[in-house]
Amino acid sequence: MPLTSRNCFGLRAAGQLQNLAFTGVGTPGLRPLPLAPSVTFSISPHRSVKTAFATMAKPKLHGRAFYESLGSPKYIVAPMVDQSEFAWRLLTRSFLPAELRTSILAYSPMLHAKMFAESPKYRAQHFEPLNTPLAMPQTPAEAQLQTLTEEDAYLDGNPKIDRPLFVQFCANDPQYLFQAAKVVQPYCDAVDLNLGCPQGIAKRGHYGAFLQEDWDTIYKLINTLHKELDIPVTAKFRILETREKTLEYAKMLLSAGASIITCHGRQREQKGHNTGLADWSVLRYLREQLPPETVIFANGNILQYDDIAQCLEQTKADGVMSAEGNLYDPTIFATPPPVGDEGREYWRGRDGKGGYRVDAVLRRYLDIIHQYVLSQDSPARAPLFLSSDSAIKPIEAEIAHEASNTNNKRPAEDAPDASCDGQAPPSKKQKKRDAKQEKKNAGKPERVTNPNLVAMQAHCFHLLRFLVKEHHDVRDALARSRAGDLDAYENVLRLTQEAVKKGLVAYETNPTVFEEVSAHVEGQTDGGLEQVNGVSAAKQAPEESSDEAVRRCKRPYWVCQPYVRPLPKEAIERGSMQLSKKELKKLAEKENEIKKNRAREDEKQADEAGVAPGGKIEAVPHSVQEEVKVSEGVSEAEKEGIVEVPNEGMVCG
């Protein structure tokens, strides 16, 4: 039977929580994660469980005063549906030194306010702040919160390891939002309103980005929480059609009572293959136009660690939020180690580029699931492989053997032998019947609902996206893994470690192969640089081509790295995206208008130059001009080095 967190509730209720102990500086008797000391967490001395849960007794701060009370975090893990759960937040923070982990502010996954307010089952499946048999009271009372002890804290909002934390809701009814927010307010630092979800389900449910035309409802949602909650309210939204309208939108959110606003620099229509680039200039405009005490988080275009500083510089935002970048690389907020201090978790190539190894990150992730979610010891693990280890020789031989058999046909399997009793082995039909009967006898497996276990497969596919393209055995094993089946995920880890080991040895044998792969992007190359319509990709603007971003971010498959989405124009050219009839008509009208304007401009220039109908004006380079005898009455254009030469009767292009 798959192991779930529910199977461990008896242990937790009995007080057997040794694996949930968190390492504190100078605190004896607290137990670190085995073979992963960097995953351990220090206890904040000024925040006990009681005071953190008894929020009604604390003064309510607002705006910048509230932000500074959190330590002014610069790094923010974005709210992601079913993806920013406790284990992933803990994993992301684990790559920073213990004293810096609270510099990462994390958001919960987006929760549905109405369902959270009305359904105890939905609450229990999506938010777990307390150990069983305790349950979140729907109307928490101060006296009840004061009775909670350190042992009562479980995962979400645990003041030792999961703060600062904002809990995000989608909603369109102020009362449902308030009821849901009241339940979680003892276990988080703020409640956030989702105004940025662009998905179809948000459109059908009339929430997220599809509320942005209904300013009255948005104002009521935020203002109700601002007036009634004991903790601050924040809001996350997308930019509108113009920067001026976006500014008025932001002002409305702030006037309603939002303490912090997060602006995603993309419009509602920018999603999927049409994602495109976020517009940081709009975020900078908000920063310049809003009062200095306004706290603004920037979201969008964060692919790597270096992008964070660039975003802070260009937008002047207070903090930077990462969503998809964090999913593909949970180490995105961690400073790379110095050269020579890589250890076994970080890899750096000959060109100086590197990143955390996927097997190291996956191992750390599984350790968190074992110890914090399931309250059990992690399996004993050998140290991660390094190419300097003595095991490199047999691995080299194995790789050479595989290479020699690459073009050979798969050998035919031996004919099945007769069984010991002389009977023929079971047929395929018989095996199928036996498997079906065995499955029937086993009964229906227990449905796993813990969000930390449900999210594992999606997280692993993000993390291993580039590795599974090369190693299909890892892909197949991961596809068969089910929520709660930790043995299956341990097998995925074992296969991943083997794949990384082979990659590291192959790199030591011939690094140029991987360096060429890292430099490669689709299309024709010239001297190692991509040529797009005759223009080097290195010279193209980011809004014109994604190739330079791919080249900048590309690493060998065993290193965590972002997924760079093609720009909408590129997606259309490659057939990944098709425009609707309405969009095609709009695009055709726009192109026709551009052509008409260009034609009118050409006719005007031709008329001024005295060119016959159908003629064209060309700019002659300066080197040609020197061969032309220029008369005394030269024009201003000629003085600047440009001579207009009409070609009568000739149409080009």
Instruction: Lowest mean pLDDT of 108-117, 125-134, 305-314, name the range.
Output: 125-134
Alpha carbons 200 and 204: distance in angstroms, whole number:
6
Q: What is the pLDDT of residue 6?
A: 41
Confirm if 178 and 220 have CB atoms less than 8 A apart.
Answer: no
Assign residue 380 a region (left: φ > 0; alpha: ψ between -120 and 50; beta: otherwise). beta
Asked if pLDDT for residue 647 goes beyond 90, the answer is no
User: pLDDT tens digits, residue range 581-602?
Assistant: 777 777 677 677 777 877 887 7
Alpha carbons 149 and 625: distance in angstroms, whole number:
87
Alpha carbons 265 and 282: distance in angstroms, whole number:
7
CATH architecture of the domain 32-334 equals Alpha-Beta Barrel (3.20)
Q: What is the pLDDT of residue 207?
A: 96
Output the CA–CA distances (angstroms, integers) from residue 127 to 155, 173, 353, 368, in the order listed: 8, 21, 39, 17
Decide: pTM greater than 0.85.
no
Alpha carbons 359 and 497: distance in angstroms, whole number:
5
pLDDT band at 131 (very low <50, low <70, confident <90, very high): confident
Alpha carbons 545 and 57: distance in angstroms, whole number:
54
pLDDT band at 307 (very low <50, low <70, confident <90, very high): very high
pLDDT band at 184 (very low <50, low <70, confident <90, very high): very high
Q: What is the pLDDT of residue 645?
A: 38
Q: What is the pLDDT of residue 33?
A: 39
Q: What is the pLDDT of residue 427?
A: 79
Q: Spell out the alpha helix ranges (H) of 275-407.
A: 280-289, 305-315, 324-328, 358-368, 392-404
Asked if pLDDT for residue 437 goes beyond 70, the answer is yes
Catalytic residue at 197? yes
User: What is the distance of C-alpha 80 from the center of its chain?
Assistant: 8
Asked if pLDDT for residue 641 goes beyond 60, the answer is no
Give phi and psi for 161, each to the nearest 5.
-135, -5
Asked if pLDDT for residue 32 goes beyond 80, the answer is no
Q: What is the pLDDT of residue 178?
A: 98
Q: At what angle do helices 472-480 and 456-463 cross, to 10 degrees?
A: 170
More confident residue, 94 or 603: 94
Alpha carbons 395 and 218: distance in angstroms, whole number:
60
Q: What value does the mean pLDDT of the chain take? A: 80
Please identify which of the residues 197, 263, 311, 460 carries the catalytic annotation: 197
Return residue ranges of the chain for CATH 3.20.20.70: 32-334
Confirm if 52 and 140 have CB atoms less than 8 A apart.
Answer: no
**Alpha-carbon dihedral sign for residues 41, 42, 48, 54:** negative
pLDDT band at 62 (very low <50, low <70, confident <90, very high): very high
Asked if pLDDT for residue 640 goes beyond 60, the answer is no
Confirm if 492 and 477 have CB atoms less than 8 A apart.
Answer: yes
Residue burial 209-243, b: 16+ Cβ < 10 Å; e: rest: bbbbeeeebbbbbbbbbbeebbbbbbbbbbbbeeb
Asked if pLDDT for residue 435 goes beyond 80, the answer is no
How do beta strands 165-170 and 190-195 pair?
A: parallel
User: pLDDT tens digits, residue range 192-238?
Assistant: 999 999 999 999 999 999 999 999 999 999 999 999 999 999 999 99
Asked if pLDDT for residue 610 goes beyond 90, the answer is no
Neighbours of 479 (CB within 10 A): 11
Q: What is the pLDDT of residue 540?
A: 60
Asked if pLDDT for residue 47 goes beyond 90, the answer is no
pLDDT band at 612 (very low <50, low <70, confident <90, very high): low
Percentage with pLDDT > 70 across the chain: 71
pLDDT band at 616 (very low <50, low <70, confident <90, very high): low
Longest dimension (CA), the chain: 113
More confident residue, 359 or 632: 359
User: pLDDT tens digits, residue range 368-385?
Assistant: 999 999 999 999 999 999
Q: What is the pLDDT of residue 196?
A: 96
Asked if pLDDT for residue 41 goes beyond 80, the answer is no
More confident residue, 213 or 43: 213
Q: What is the pLDDT of residue 275?
A: 87
How do beta strands 233-238 and 260-264 pair?
A: parallel
Q: What is the pLDDT of residue 416?
A: 45
pLDDT band at 79 (very low <50, low <70, confident <90, very high): very high
Structure tokens at 404: 């020699």
Q: What is the pLDDT of residue 108?
A: 98
User: pLDDT tens digits, residue range 532-574?
Assistant: 444 444 456 666 678 888 889 999 999 999 999 888 888 777 7
Q: What is the pLDDT of residue 516?
A: 64
Asked if pLDDT for residue 415 goes beyond 50, the answer is no
Alpha carbons 372 and 86: distance in angstroms, whole number:
9
Asked if pLDDT for residue 132 goes beyond 50, the answer is yes
pLDDT, average across residues 464-478: 97
Residue burial 600-638, b: 16+ Cβ < 10 Å; e: rest: eeeeeebeeeebeeebbeeeeeeeeeeeeeeeeeeeeee
Asked if pLDDT for residue 286 goes beyond 50, the answer is yes
